[in-house]
Amino acid sequence: MEKFQARIRYAGAYAALMRKSDWNRQVETPTWRAPGVLWIRQFRPKHFTVAGAVEYQYSPRKGQDLPRNTREFWKSYFGQKLQKKKHARPLVFSGELERETKRGSVHPTSKGMKVKMRARKANWRHPNSEIDMASEVRRVAPGEARKMVREKERAMTKKLREVRTVIQKTVGGI
């Protein structure tokens, strides 16, 4: 997944009084799971649609821009795919890549998250081709990044309400 940055500020009793290690362990790290799950469930399926190919600006496949009534079109990758598989969905020929990426897992850290997917098919590439399916699968649209940040904020607000931090202070010289 491509990297995106977000700046989230929290002020208040818990945020001010927590130690950095408590903040990371109780609030920051667990809340990175929410945007990763959102990406897997909601945004990953869009990568395998024609609308997703336009939104994520995929490189055109061989023959995609040719007129359909020509011999060159039907000999091209795109024409063969239409003829054999009866669809024009991007990143899908046999459907194996789409099935493999469904089983993604989110690994949160204090500084971000990694969405791990088994996607061997995305790494197959002709040496002279400019098409990089692995990077196409990982692309995040700007609108999606904003939704993922909102999801993280929602998760952090929820976590801050349930934080269990004990603050101990010694007052006076008794």
- pLDDT tens by residue, 130-170: 888 889 999 999 999 999 999 999 998 888 877 665 555 55
Residue 122 pLDDT: 82
Structure token digits, residue 3: 């990297």
What pLDDT sits at residue 120? 82
Contacts of residue 135, defined as CB under 8 A and 6 or more positions apart, other chains included, come to 2
Distance between CA atoms of residues 139 and 137, nearest Å: 6
- CA-nearest of 140, 161, 162 to 38 is 140
Residue 63 region by backbone torsions, left for phi larger than 0, else alpha for psi between -120 and 50, else beta: left
Contact predicate 153/113, CB 8 Å:
no
Segments of the chain scoring below 70 in pLDDT:
1-17, 163-174
Cβ atoms of 1 and 134 closer than 8 Å:
no
| Chain Cα centroid distance, residue 75 | 34
Give the distance from CA 167 to its chain's centroid: 37
The pLDDT of residue 146 is: 92
Q: Are 108 and 133 in contact (CB under 8 A)?
A: no
| Spatial separation of the C-alpha atoms in residues 133 and 94, rounded to whole Å | 14
Question: What per-residue confidence (pLDDT) applies to 22?
Answer: 78
Identify whether the C-beta of residue 100 lies closer than 8 Å to the C-beta of residue 120. yes
- Could you tell me the sign of the dihedral formed by the alpha carbons of 111, 55, 151, 137, in that order? negative
Q: Which residues contact 130 (CB under 8 A, 6 or more apart)?
A: 59
What is the pTM for the complete model shown? 0.78
